[in-house]
Amino acid sequence: MRRLIFGILSVILLGIEVLIGLFAHGWVRSYLGDVLVVILLYTIVRTIVPKKGKWFVIPTAILVFAFIVEFLQLWGFCDRFGITNEFLRIIIGTGFSWVDIACYCIGIIPCYVSEIFLIRRKN
């Protein structure tokens, strides 16, 4: 049942992210989109991965992944590998920002809370 809920949340968050990408400007696109993207990744992983292991592993792995993607932007990943497809450039990103790192840290907090209060809870 939890996996179904996480799957539904994934679809909803993906829809919100697409709408943000297409229509939003200002702080919604700059900050809220980055906060929500780590939550989206978490819900996708939780849809696929059953509740096993330590509570902090999945959120931490997602946060590390987000950091890696952000630092690849600093390195100029898209330009170095000649990625010209506009969709891929948007997904991967082309501009490093410490604010994005902060947004990822804020966004991962509900994921840790979910792990502590929902996933670890005994049925």
Per-residue pLDDT tens over the stretch 24-50: 889 998 899 999 999 999 999 999 997
Range of the domain at 43: 2-119
Per-residue pLDDT tens over the stretch 44-80: 999 999 777 788 999 999 999 999 999 999 999 999 9
| Two structure tokens written together for 57 | 């592993």
Give residue 45's pLDDT.
96
**CA distances (Å), 56 to each of 59, 88, 122, in order?**
6, 30, 17
CA angle in degrees (0–180, nearest 5) for 21-27-31? 75
* pLDDT classification of 123: cutoffs 50, 70, 90: very low
Amino acid at 15: G
Count of structural domains within the chain: 1
* pLDDT classification of 119: cutoffs 50, 70, 90: low
User: Model's pTM, two decimal places?
Assistant: 0.89
Give residue 21's pLDDT.
84
